[in-house]
Structure 1
Amino acid sequence: MENVNKKFTLVGTTDSHDMELISKPALTFWQDAWRRFKKNKIAVVAMVVVFATLIFAVLSTIFVPQSAANNFNPDQVQVYKNLPPKLGNLNIPGWNGDFTTPGNTLSSNVYQDQKVPEGTSYILGTDNLGRSLAKRTIVGLRISLLIAFAAILFDIFIGITYGLISGWVGGRVDNVMQRIIEIISSIPYLVIVTMLGMLFGQGVTSIILAIGMFIWTGIARQVRNLTLSWKEREFILASRTLGESTFRIMIRHLLPNMLGVIIVQIMFDIPSVIFAEATLSAINLGVKPPTSSLGSLISDGISSLQFYPYQLAVPAVVLCLLSLSFFLFGYGLRDAFDPKSSED
């Protein structure tokens, strides 16, 4: 009987060793996370918006100083106040200077009615003191981001450290530290803002301290829970057996494994801080005038909403787009670092 095995030839490999080789190169944790993140197109767009906004906020300090947005000429208020948006000499509806002023039924060119010098235009209009809304929104964006990232430093230095110590030590120490977090979380931060305002004066410093005193509790709980889980893993026990110090284990082994969760939590905390600042400004506990933030601009726009709705719409749209970008970026990072989270 003819041997049928001679009629078939295994192609593509020369021996059994070649059959066991992995065709794709091994990916690191960060490379694998980036590969998953790129598949989420909305998150990629949000990331581009976030980084573009941060770069713009930094570069705007050169072209739009804070004094240019705050100062105004008291003798020229009647000429420049409450001007509608206008984009040069282009006749684009909504950006041509036409607006129905209070007391009139027909729209007219406000720039001509108030005798604004020829060639002068404001792309986003002006406020009731004649200050450019575009410049004040840029400065407000800068101040809001400054408050957000300064408050996030409390997350990084206090929250992570507190959570690591609480989870690593455990026992009664952990129990006491968690009760302290519960006490802090139960205090209304409006009370703290009011007290700090009386102590330091109304301004950016008071807002940063008030929000920072509460924002770190969330990430501290997450880091503590992760530490309780990770400290029982084999590689941590091996490090302790080899005599590595606690600090070295936390820095070299615990933190790298928690970094994904920490980054995602920070991305979620940033828009929360921005909204908190906006809320404080809406009840006159925000930044001190004439300094503007997105919250203070929204607060000022609410008072003139009935007659000049664009003064509220401009900062409100910027705030919503910025917060939405951070949230979508955070969700994209969460799904990239933890693929199971997108299935829940």
Structure 2
Amino acid sequence: MENINNKFTLVGTKDTHDMELISKPALTFWQDAWRRFKKNKVAVVAMVVVVFTILFALVSIVIVPQKSANNFNPNKVQVYKNLPPKLGNVGIPGWDGNFTSPGNTDATNIYKVQKVPKDTSFILGTDSLGRSLAKRTVVGLRISLLIAFSAILFDIFIGITYGLISGWIGGRVDNIMQRIIEIISSIPYLVIVTMLGMLFGQGVISIILAIGMFIWTGIARQVRNLTLSWKEREFILASRTLGESTFRIMIRHLLPNMLGVIIVQIMFDIPSVIFAEATLSAINLGVKPPTSSLGSLISDGISSLQFYPFQLAVPAVVLCLLSLSFFLFGYGLRDAFDPKSSED
């Protein structure tokens, strides 16, 4: 029988030890999540928008003070009120100062009609008191983000802790804790807002406390359900057998496996808080005038929608883009931390 080695040549490495070596570098949990996250281009764009918006809101504290956005000259209201968007003297359609005033059929240059100084223009127009909508939208964005992130702290510190304790202990304690959540969820938060408004006065603090007292119940239920599932896994039982403390097991083993669900829930809660604030502003329980938020600007714009639609469009577009960015960013993080979730 002819030797088979005379017809075939072995290619590649001839050392079995070299064949078993793993050439791919080992990645940590965060490095592997970042690698998967970068593949989702939509999520990357949403992350850039969210990060840019947060940084812009922080920088705007110096560039656009709240006082300059709220103040107006009562002697110049007739000159600067309800001005349409205008971008210098560029003459771009929609940003040229031309607008069809209520009762007219033809578009006119409102800046000339109201005798606004030639070098004065407002890129997003003005409101009924002559205040710049651009400045008020920037301040409103800042206030809305402040309310949202402050309320989310209740999610992080109360909701996650409450859910971990309830799911880990289980039994009668879990049953009692879940009934408490049901009682809290059944209370209309408008009643709480009204009571806090009477106690602390109408303002940002009352809204944060009122929304924060209810927002954590959703994430607490999710964390509790995940804890009930994960605490029976083999690696958790092994950790308990080896004598690890409950706190260490929760921090080192439970929370990392829940991270995707927690982040998605938080990303959903942020726009939900902003929408809740908008609802409160619509019934005059929002931030105290003249301070503006996206919700209060939308509420003010609704009253003048028929005649000056740009006053509603500006904050509404900002709110929609911001909410959509948080949603897409959250979905991208969920898929990065938990690849199986995108396959289900």
User: What letter corresponds to residue 257 of structure 1 in structure 2?
Assistant: N
Question: What is the rounded CA distance, in whole Å, between the counterparts of 1:316 and 1:280 in structure 2?
Answer: 16
Report the equivalent of 1:100: 100
Aligned length: 344
User: What letter corresponds to residue 143 of structure 1 in structure 2?
Assistant: I
Question: What is the rounded CA distance, in whole Å, between the counterparts of 2:34 and 2:180 in structure 1?
Answer: 37
Report the equivalent of 1:197: 197
Report the equivalent of 2:334: 334
Report the equivalent of 1:310: 310
1:203-223 deviation line (CA, Å, top 9, x unaligned): 111111111011101111111
User: What letter corresponds to residue 118 of structure 1 in structure 2?
Assistant: K
Asked if the contact 2:259–2:337 (Cα under 8 Å) also holds between the matched residues in 1, the reply is: no
How is 1:314-325 mapped onto 2 (pairs within 5 angstroms)? 314-325=314-325
Report the equivalent of 1:265: 265
The unaligned stretches of length 5 or more in structure 1 are none
Question: What is the rounded CA distance, in whole Å, between the counterparts of 1:213 and 1:75 in structure 2?
Answer: 44
- Kindly report structure 1 stretches of 4+ aligned residues shifted beyond 6 Å: none
Asked if the contact 2:151–2:209 (Cα under 8 Å) also holds between the matched residues in 1, the reply is: yes
Report the equivalent of 1:292: 292
Report the equivalent of 1:66: 66
Question: What is the rounded CA distance, in whole Å, between the counterparts of 1:136 and 1:35 in structure 2?
Answer: 39
1:241-300 deviation line (CA, Å, top 9, x unaligned): 333322222223322332222222111111111111111111211111000000000000
Question: What is the rounded CA distance, in whole Å, between the counterparts of 1:260 and 1:326 in structure 2?
Answer: 14
Asked if the contact 2:261–2:334 (Cα under 8 Å) also holds between the matched residues in 1, the reply is: yes
Asked if the contact 2:144–2:274 (Cα under 8 Å) also holds between the matched residues in 1, the reply is: yes
How far apart are 1:201 and its partner, in Å? 1.5
How is 1:1-344 mapped onto 2 (pairs within 5 angstroms)? 1-344=1-344
Question: What is the rounded CA distance, in whole Å, between the counterparts of 1:247 and 1:44 in structure 2?
Answer: 34
Asked if the contact 2:260–2:335 (Cα under 8 Å) also holds between the matched residues in 1, the reply is: no
Question: What is the rounded CA distance, in whole Å, between the counterparts of 1:33 and 1:123 in structure 2?
Answer: 41
Question: What is the rounded CA distance, in whole Å, between the counterparts of 1:324 and 1:153 in structure 2?
Answer: 21
How far apart are 1:341 and its partner, in Å? 2.2
How far apart are 1:24 and its partner, in Å? 1.9
Moved more, 248-257 or 313-322: 248-257
Query: Aligned to 2:123, what secondary structure does the other structure show?
Result: coil
How far apart are 1:313 and its partner, in Å? 0.5
User: What letter corresponds to residue 61 of structure 2 in structure 1?
Assistant: T
User: What letter corresponds to residue 280 of structure 1 in structure 2?
Assistant: L
1:214-240 deviation line (CA, Å, top 9, x unaligned): 110111111112222222233333333
Moved more, 199-208 or 240-249: 240-249
Question: What is the rounded CA distance, in whole Å, between the counterparts of 2:21 and 2:55 in structure 1?
Answer: 45
Question: What is the rounded CA distance, in whole Å, between the counterparts of 1:256 and 1:343 in structure 2?
Answer: 20
The unaligned stretches of length 5 or more in structure 2 are none
1:86-122 deviation line (CA, Å, top 9, x unaligned): 1001111111111111222222111111111120000
Moved more, 249-258 or 167-176: 249-258
Give the alignment's TM-score, normalised by structure 1.
Answer: 0.96
Query: Aligned to 2:42, what secondary structure does the other structure show?
Result: helix
Give the alignment's TM-score, normalised by structure 2.
Answer: 0.96
User: What letter corresponds to residue 95 of structure 2 in structure 1?
Assistant: W
Moved more, 331-340 or 216-225: 331-340
Report % sequence identity.
89
Moved more, 300-309 or 241-250: 241-250
Query: Aligned to 1:177, what secondary structure does the other structure show?
Result: helix
How far apart are 1:21 and its partner, in Å? 2.2
How far apart are 1:202 and its partner, in Å? 1.3
- Cα 1:341–1:256 change in 2 (3 A) is closer
Asked if the contact 2:84–2:97 (Cα under 8 Å) also holds between the matched residues in 1, the reply is: yes
Question: What is the rounded CA distance, in whole Å, between the counterparts of 2:329 and 2:248 in structure 1?
Answer: 31
